[in-house]
Structure 1
């Protein structure tokens, strides 16, 4: 039996039940027939495990990293700690437990709020990341300063590595603030390039997921310290629409000023991100623009929308408009 790390020492990932498992059938019952029929169905089927949801491969890869960390540092509590954070009713708990045991997931912490807000619990658990299928709950978390993203199921199944966690990040309004993106939206590409050239030695402010990249970097350093840089089970990627020569310098210098790095940096100069992500095969990709999230998902990447920054005001489609997302009346 593994020892559960203390929340203040761990990298805590809070995941909703509908991000971890596919609960589309159950959600339909809730929406069409109401709460009582929904709970009755869950109880009648509680020995049947849910099918995996979009965040499932990511959580499995996180647990594979923990296995490696425990081998190298048996007494360390600097591990990933996964918390199931759901607004579901406690009656659904048995089916969730049975599903977790069926897939041999190591998730011991549950928080089932019965429809109440999760924000206070996310803060109490010191959540480093919150993944949900509910865009409204994610927006609430972002507004409270919690790193969060709405996870979408990919359009096709893509095999991802089981022994190396791969996480891809957009730059502006994800790792970085939306400062530069505001210049681009307001004044166009030429002014954006001028602004970035003039400010290339001034680090950008941090975005909502900077802290999660930092947490991943700390775990990577533990492997490097054991001579395992080339066999590290965590790999990170910067996948940005920025151009390398025209605006890439500031992005890289910003990461350096924070003492951070990504293993790979891809500057796509406005080209679609989906095809490149299809080659990377990350467990999850974070972006602030639904255009890129949708493009990645169509080609098989589990993409997560970070509702932060100027793009949320100008893009024509938000996470709530996407077919895969659920309406306001939903359980998580």
Structure 2
């Protein structure tokens, strides 16, 4: 028996993850808190080629993206979108780390210090992963 109006077709799962959840940014965040934005920028530029260590949400993101391995290229099951309070220029280290780990993350928003959560709904986010309580 089928329900009228029920759509059983596969749907893309949209997951938003903050940069601090995806990668361990505690050292650079401490510099920002202690010394301010200019010191933070200088630190990020000086270390833009240093790969970031995985953060608390990294294993979950990697497993979610692995669901696409058995999906057709034209119909992935999961999309992960990066939401970051970094600026686009200081975010280069984050994208270098994404490439290093082979994560299929191609969409991102860099808010230059503004909150990231307001961007979750416009991206159609089903799950929002953050390191903040």
TM-score (ref. length: structure 2): 0.86
Pair 87,37 (structure 1): closer, same or farther in 2 beyond 3 Å = same
Q: Report the counterpart of residue 12 of structure 2 in structure 1.
A: 10
Q: Mean alpha-carbon deviation: is it higher for 112-121 or for 100-109?
A: 112-121
For residues 30 and 117 of structure 1, the distance between their equivalents in structure 2, rounded to whole angstroms, comes to 16
| Structure 1 residue 13 displacement after superposition | 0.6
1:95 aligns to what?
93
Cross-structure match for 2:124: 126
* Counterpart Cα distance in 2 of 1:19 and 1:121: 16
Is the Cα–Cα contact under 8 Å of residues 18 and 116 in structure 2 kept in the other structure? Answer: no
Q: Give, in angstroms, the shift of residue 91 of structure 1.
A: 2.1
Query: How much does 1:90 deviate?
Result: 1.9
Larger Rg, first or second structure (1 or 2)? 1
Q: For 1:60-97, what per-residue CA distance to the aligned partner results, in whole angstroms no more than 9, with x for missing partners?
A: 11121111123xxx4325x1100001112222221111
**Structure 1 gap ranges (5+):** 1-8, 136-332
Moved over 3 A (4+): none
Instruction: Identify which of structures 1 and 2 has the higher relative contact order when contacts are C-alpha pairs closer than 8 Å and 6+ apart.
Output: 2
Normalised by the size of structure 1, how large is the TM-score?
0.36
CA contact (8 A) 2:14 2:78 kept: yes
Structure 2 unmatched runs, 5+: 1-10
Distance in 2 of aligned mates of 1:110 and 1:131: 14
Aligned pair count? 123
